[in-house]
Amino acid sequence: MKLLLLTAAVLLLVVGEGAAERVLSRRTKRELASPLHVGGIRDPFGSYCQRRGGCCPGRDDLCTVPYLDTICYCDLFCNRTVSDCCPDFWGHCLGVQPPFIGTCERNGNKFFTGQTYKENCNLCTCGTTGRWECEQNACLMEPDIIQAVNRGNYGWRAANYSQFYGMSLDEGIRFRLGTQRPSRTIMNMNEIQMNMDPQSDRLPLYFNSAEKWPGKIHEPLDQGNCAASWAFSTAAVASDRISIQSMGHMTPQLSPQNLISCDTRNQGGCAGGRIDGAWWYLRRRGVVTEECYPYRPPQQTPAEVGRCMMQSRSIGRGKRQATQRCPNTHNYQNDIYQSTPPYRLSSNDKEIMKEIMDNGPVQAIMEVHEDFFVYKNGIYKHTDASFTKPPQYRNHGTHSVRITGWGEERNFDGTSKKYWIAANSWGKNWGENGYFRIARGENECEIETFVIGAWGRITMEDMHNHHHHHRRRHI
């Protein structure tokens, strides 16, 4: 060790003649050299600063005294645990005990006090005691919870998603959901009366919209870190309904971005919004397709709402026309699509099923709990997998999704597990190809509490025009 210090001292003498250069070289040395006390070089009985005659305020690279074969510092910059300070600096200059400079270990490497690394969603700092001190946030991907779900007999399996890894549970709830609970007035909206005839309204054990209406049910999109499920679920249900109702003459995938950027009245864009507001906008203003107005997930600022780049004007009889070209300049189809007023279904699963089978997918509000983010496949039910952990590991937020079908699975004991098939908006690599199944008939996560249907606004003229467009494009 002495040899090493000697080398350092020789280097100091050799490098640079001018004062400026000397300061620079000292400064460099000071930042790169390991602290003198690491490895036991400290001389506990020296009175270096005292002999020097004082302690310098701030950082002063000339505030040094010879120390063993090198120099040590007596400036206030030493009031950190990184330095090559004189051993009596703390006692003489500050009147305190010298700190212990810790080294922490990780993967066989040494780290000094103050250095950090990220462990999943938590920042870990090397503490003065030589131990890593980590934040204690609940993460979105908790290995313990994934394991507990997969070991338990919950009827569904969990996975570790790389796109969620490193986020905290609070961030997941803040950025991946984004539907506000409807107001009391909206929640009190009348349910439509459905007179079901038990004979003629026989419902099959399994039903999937994608099989009844091939090519008309749109694939799940990915909202990214933008809390706009209000716009995604509304646009998805409206897209499917227009495609079904027009018998495939139009199969638009409506633009969530159009809603996020333009339906801004009492809406929060990527910071959450209301589905009743989204339906109002679809009815009164209308939106273009996803190809025309593509989705741009926010990169740095999740709450940012892009400028609205599409407006419509009335052309009579309640119809509207775009006043701008598509934001995507390669697309010329800026047709505006509108809906009729939405209607609320009862919470009875049979009525919801009949509605889906007759008219297509519906929109539902649901409460998303911590374990839903790790869902991989099976029939989801909220579990107690996080109940052995502190309370911050349990949290939930409101989301909205699109229910497209149902089914049941037989258990070994002859009973059956009934489920809904629903599309989420977390991309196709989440869940069962972007879809999930969830327990049906027991209001799991409140999924049967507030269910909405709507019609597309389609006239015979639309059918003809779109058909015409379609043909002309292919000539």
Ligand X SMILES: *[C@@H]1O[C@H](CO)[C@@H](O)[C@H](O)[C@H]1NC(C)=O
Query: Which residue numbers are catalytic?
Result: 399, 424
Q: Looking at 76, 186, 308, 357, which residue binds ligand X (CB under 6 A)? A: 76
Closest to 444 measured CA to CA, from 357, 351, 371: 371
Alpha helices by DSSP H, listed for 271-396, are: 275-284, 349-359
| Distance of closest approach, residue 164 Cβ to ligand X, in angstroms | 9
Q: What DSSP assignment string belongs to 403-449?
A: EEEEEEEE-TTS-EEEEEEEE-SB-TTSTBTTEEEEE-SS-GGGTTT
Residues 311-350 that bind ligand X (CB under 6 A): none
99/306 with CB nearer ligand X: 99
Smallest distance, ligand X to C-beta of residue 213, A: 36
Q: How far is the CB of 147 from ligand X (least distance, A)?
A: 8
Contact between 424 and 220 (Cβ < 8 Å)? yes
Instruction: Return the closest-CA partner of residue 86 out of 103, 71, 69.
Output: 71
- Can you tell me the distance from the alpha carbon of 12 to that of 26, in angstroms, rounded to the nearest whole number? 7
Residue nearest to ligand X (CB): 162
Helix (H) or strand (E) segment spanning residue 119: strand 116-119
Judged by CB under 6 A, which stretch of 159-167, 200-208, 317-325, 440-448 contacts ligand X? 159-167
Among 11, 94, 192, 196, binds ligand X (CB under 6 A): 94
Q: How far is the CB of 281 from ligand X (least distance, A)?
A: 37
Other CB atoms within 10 Å distance of the CB of residue 115: 15
Q: Output the smallest distance, CB 191 to ligand X, in A.
A: 43
Provide, for the chain, the percentages of residues in helix, strand and coil under a 3-state DSSP scheme, each rounded to the nearest 5: 30, 20, 50
CA distances from 60 to 2, 24, 83, 84 (A): 26, 12, 13, 13
**Binding positions for ligand X, 161-200, rule CB under 6 A:** 162, 165
Query: Within 112-151, which residues bind ligand X (CB under 6 A)?
Result: 141, 143
CB of 91 to ligand X, least distance (A): 13
Whose Cβ is closer to ligand X: residue 141's or residue 237's?
141
- From 34, 47, 79, 321, residue interacting with ligand X (rule: CB under 6 A): 79
* Among positions 28, 116, 128, 160, the unique one binding ligand X when judged by CB under 6 A: 160
- Binding segment toward ligand X, per CB under 6 A, in 158-166, 269-277, 288-296, 336-344: 158-166
Judged by CB under 6 A, how many residues of this single chain contact ligand X? 8
Q: Please give the full DSSP string across 154-174, using - where no structure is assigned.
A: SSEEE---TTTTT-BHHHHHH
Note whether 54 binds ligand X by CB under 6 A: no
List the beta bridge partners of residue 50. Answer: none
C-alpha torsion sign, points 25, 30, 34, 37: positive
Helical residues (DSSP H) of 33-182, grouped into ranges:
48-52, 143-151, 169-175
Alpha-helical regions (H) of 181-274 = 184-187, 209-212, 229-245, 256-262
Q: Are residues 249 and 470 in contact, defined by beta-carbon separation less than 8 angstroms?
A: yes
Residues that bind ligand X (CB under 6 A): 76, 79, 94, 141, 143, 160, 162, 165
